[in-house]
Amino acid sequence: MRILFFLLALATTIALVVILDTTKLLPAPLGRWLSPQQGIWQNAESLDHDYNANLTIPGLKGNTEVYFDERLVPHIFSDNEEDPYFVQGYLHAKFRLWQMEFQTHFISGRISEIVGDAGIKSDRGFRRMGITSAAESSLAFMEKDEVMRQTMDAYTAGVNAYIENLPESQLPIEYKLLGYKPEKWTNLKSVLFFKAMSYDLVGGDDDFEQTNLLKILGEADYNFLFPQAEDSLSPIIPKGIPFTKSAEIPLAPADADSVYFHRRDSLWFTQEFKPDPDNGSNNWVVSGSKTKSGKPILCNDPHLSLSLPSIWMEMQITTPTSNAYGVTFPGLPIVVIGFNDYIAFGVTNAGRELKDYYEIRFRDASRTEYWFNNAWKKADLRIEQISVKGSAPFIDTVAYTVFGPVIYDKTFKDKLNQNKAYALSWIAHYPSNPLKMWYQLNRAKNYNDYLDAVQYFNEPSQNIVFASKEGDIAIKQEGKFPLRWEGQGSFVMPGTDSSYMWKEFIPRQDNPFSHNPEQGYLSSANQRAVDTSYPYFIPGSYDMYRGVSINRRLSVMSNITPDDMKRLQNDNYNVFAEHMRPLMLRYVDRDRLSPEALRFLTLLEQWNLNSDIQETGPTIFENWVDSLRPALFRDELFRNDLPVIFPSDEIIAQSLIRDSSSFKFIDNTKTPETETLADILTSSLEKATPGLKKAEDDHRLEWGKFKNTSVYHLLRERMLPFGRLGLPIGGGKHIINATKQKNGPSWKMVIHMTTPTEAYGIYPGGQNGNPGSPFYDNTVLDWAKGQHYKLWVMQQNEKKDKRVKATMKFSS
């Protein structure tokens, strides 16, 4: 019996050893997860966790002190210009190391090293975009600027100083759960973060779908449904401001009509690697003529994917020449959106199209030569070795052409003809130094400094808003924009010669801008920047209704206070519904509706057009519109399973309002009878009704519950417990409060240019990226409630202020 017990104990011990040390069941050995000394328990932090430290680090130029306030915001004070960025890198690593590294792995096509085979397709796609080679080119360009090189070197050294002294027990929990360790940071990784921004904020990436639509619809109908030069109802640059034209518009190639605009072939696949189409932003600034104080107020709320750890980290950085406060990107030095003692600055996405695709004809399956300018030209074949966790490396070969890297060919897309391929031209492939703009904005003192700073910004294209304590307000759309002939880049272009290539760029002095306009305010909300008097062709993806709503409010406001601006950022009024609902209610045939559909129609009629959390109207309206789009266009657009997209909501609404009786797309061409708008609206509401009834039965008809705004962990479904799901918040698409299910205002900022500066801000998350910290998601509920925190611009004589909760000192 004693031997039997011994054998059972031995077998149990062996089983436990195997289970706790295996990676077959989980990404990392379970034993390591549960280890008291090194496991996930070590990541728990109490509310009174001690962040005080005195750090002696060789190589620092002088002394730097960091004071953490009650929200764990670091206020950095340094006696020199380089050390603050060392400390910023150190703090980013201390609080956001896993996030920084994961994001750069993702954009550079290295995610398979972490998640295994599931990441190979993504890695191939990003490598085929040429992102890493573009980052290497930009880094070489940036490091020619001695100040930028020193700034980046200091930041990288700070990140690595933290990593080098990081014990395994204190590794961020994601490393422990996924079973890997951090590697050293490099300047290249910071530049990769810039390229990630360019990827996320590219304006329009539907060339393949647009090419199919042109073939399906023909030129006239395509131009009607997908206009690229239609006046916005409320452009960023006020109408009537004259534009300069310093460059001659290039002529379209002689064969463009037959080869390009009237092409006969179809593209049987869609561009897969696209950013979130909801990425955008609001910003606006009002002059002292419209404020109660007589001082400008600047506001910004960038709309990005909502995630934990948070996209942003709040910070104050004070050097002998600057005192900048705002939000920073973990992975980059400098304050990205914020203010200093003299000016404030913010950004929104310009929406301009900066990616073009070219059809390449290879000589054979080897892809070593392609036809260009009447000769076979040698392709540059680059071997990409993708390391894969738990598997052998995956080897991919990417062909580079004069247009750029070939993203799609037979080796990556099964439906492609053996010798056909598609190369990507992207403004992100051009060297740039965007960090210099932010470095100078952090130190700018007036309008001229602002103009000098923004000239360095090439990508991603942005609308950069400005206010100063001298009273100036301005906005300038900045970026490197191809000088295009009308229609160039809207569709996949021939890649057999140089006639369709980018030749020149719009002169920077011709980029849209406005300074101290008579109306007393400026705003951008991803709408088209200019009306059709602008002399250049600027294709892109633009939103109309948020800009209309903001400008409508600002135009009638006076004696404006920061509280007024906070309320405006939280405004849930739906201008799209204001335009569209009257038409829907006028033409729907009530007599043909089922009792359930009629009941939902009645609720929609009673809606006050505010997309607040308790309202049912926005749920009904959105579901009805979602049903209406395919009812209008499925028969015309969805042919032979070709990938296409729907026209924008703006075009649908304006077209139906202008021509509600004879809009040609109302009739379903696949039925013998002729449908009217009443038929389409009635049937589409009926089709939406079962889904609305289910939502009602599930107690999800109220907008806040139906929209289900959630802030997910960066690993999404893999880490649901580390997210905050089902937040009670209104807003939505086309609304100033542009909060959707997974996307929304990632940082709300209101800056009043008084002395001292009065500033407010909030983002949905917390300063610490550790899910075990009280500062991981402590601001989420306040953000959902629409609150703003007052930002403390700490002064050096306030070191003993009661708001200081911890101090770090750095010296050599």
Residue with tokens 């542009």: 738
Q: For residue 559, what pLDDT is reported?
A: 98
DSSP annotation of 646 reads: P
Q: For residue 29, what pLDDT is reported?
A: 54
Residue with tokens 């959106």: 337
Helices and strands per DSSP (H, E), number in the chain: 22, 29
* Cβ(722)–Cβ(43) below 8 Å: no
Question: What span, in angstroms and rounded, lies between the C-alpha atoms of 264 and 212?
Answer: 9
Question: What span, in angstroms and rounded, lies between the C-alpha atoms of 587 and 796?
Answer: 66
Residues of the chain with pLDDT under 50: 2, 5-7, 9-10, 12-13, 15-20, 22, 25, 30-33, 35-39, 41
Question: What span, in angstroms and rounded, lies between the C-alpha atoms of 71 and 314?
Answer: 10
3-class secondary-structure state, position 349: strand
CB neighbours of 164 closer than 8 A, spacing ≥ 6?
none
- 553, containing H or E segment: helix 545-556
Alpha carbons within 13 A on the beta-carbon side of 156: 15
CB neighbours of 443 closer than 8 A, spacing ≥ 6?
321, 322, 324, 340, 449
* Cβ(316)–Cβ(328) below 8 Å: no
- Helices 617-637 and 575-587 meet at what angle, rounded to 10? 70
* Cβ(682)–Cβ(260) below 8 Å: no
Amino acid at 649: D
Q: For residue 30, what pLDDT is reported?
A: 47
Q: What's phi and psi for 702, nearest 5 deg?
A: -65, 140
Q: For residue 268, what pLDDT is reported?
A: 72
Question: What span, in angstroms and rounded, lies between the C-alpha atoms of 765 and 745?
Answer: 12
Q: For residue 94, what pLDDT is reported?
A: 98
* Cβ(711)–Cβ(308) below 8 Å: yes
Question: What span, in angstroms and rounded, lies between the C-alpha atoms of 503 and 713?
Answer: 43
Residue 355, beta-bridge partner list: 426
Question: What span, in angstroms and rounded, lies between the C-alpha atoms of 113 and 119?
Answer: 8
CB neighbours of 3 closer than 8 A, spacing ≥ 6?
none
Question: What span, in angstroms and rounded, lies between the C-alpha atoms of 123 and 126?
Answer: 5
Helices (H), 201-352: 207-217, 219-225
3-state SS, one letter per residue, for 92-151: HHHHHHHHHHHHHHHHCCCCHHHHHHHHHHHHHHHHHCCHHHHHHHHHHHHCCCHHHHHH
Q: For residue 26, what pLDDT is reported?
A: 52
Selection from 552, 492, 505, 562 nearest residue 527 by Cα: 552
- pLDDT single digits (tens) 162-218: 999 999 999 999 999 999 999 999 999 999 998 998 898 877 789 999 999 999 999
Both tokens of residue 177? 């759960």
Question: What span, in angstroms and rounded, lies between the C-alpha atoms of 454 and 438?
Answer: 8
DSSP annotation of 616 reads: S
DSSP annotation of 362 reads: B
Question: What span, in angstroms and rounded, lies between the C-alpha atoms of 149 and 797?
Answer: 32
Amino acid at 174: E
Q: Is the peptide bond before 309 cis (omega within 30 degrees of 0)?
A: yes
- Kindly provide the b/e burial profile for residues 114-134, where b requires at least 16 CB atoms within 10 angstroms of the residue's own CB: bbeeebbebbbbbbbbbbbbb
Question: What span, in angstroms and rounded, lies between the C-alpha atoms of 799 and 65?
Answer: 10
Amino acid at 678: A
Count CB-CB contacts under 10 A for residue 497: 13
Question: What span, in angstroms and rounded, lies between the C-alpha atoms of 379 and 409?
Answer: 13
- 178, containing H or E segment: helix 173-178
Question: What span, in angstroms and rounded, lies between the C-alpha atoms of 71 and 68?
Answer: 8
Write down the domain spans for the chain. Answer: 562-571+709-764+779-797, 575-701
Question: What span, in angstroms and rounded, lies between the C-alpha atoms of 809 and 300?
Answer: 33
DSSP annotation of 574 reads: B
Count CB-CB contacts under 10 A for residue 692: 24
* Cβ(110)–Cβ(257) below 8 Å: no
Residue 362, beta-bridge partner list: 370
| C-alpha gyration radius of the chain | 28
Count CB-CB contacts under 10 A for residue 545: 26
Q: For residue 42, what pLDDT is reported?
A: 62
CB neighbours of 120 closer than 8 A, spacing ≥ 6?
112, 386, 388, 394
3-class secondary-structure state, position 262: coil
Count CB-CB contacts under 10 A for residue 165: 11
Q: For residue 638, what pLDDT is reported?
A: 85
* Cβ(781)–Cβ(338) below 8 Å: no
3-class secondary-structure state, position 39: coil
Sign of CA dihedral 129, 135, 136, 137: positive
Both tokens of residue 794? 């700490």
Selection from 366, 386, 385, 384 nearest residue 376 by Cα: 366
- Kindly provide the b/e burial profile for residues 356-391, where b requires at least 16 CB atoms within 10 angstroms of the residue's own CB: bbbbbbbeeeebebbbbeeeeeebeeeebebebbee
DSSP one-letter string for 750-770: EEE--SSPEEEEE-SS-S---
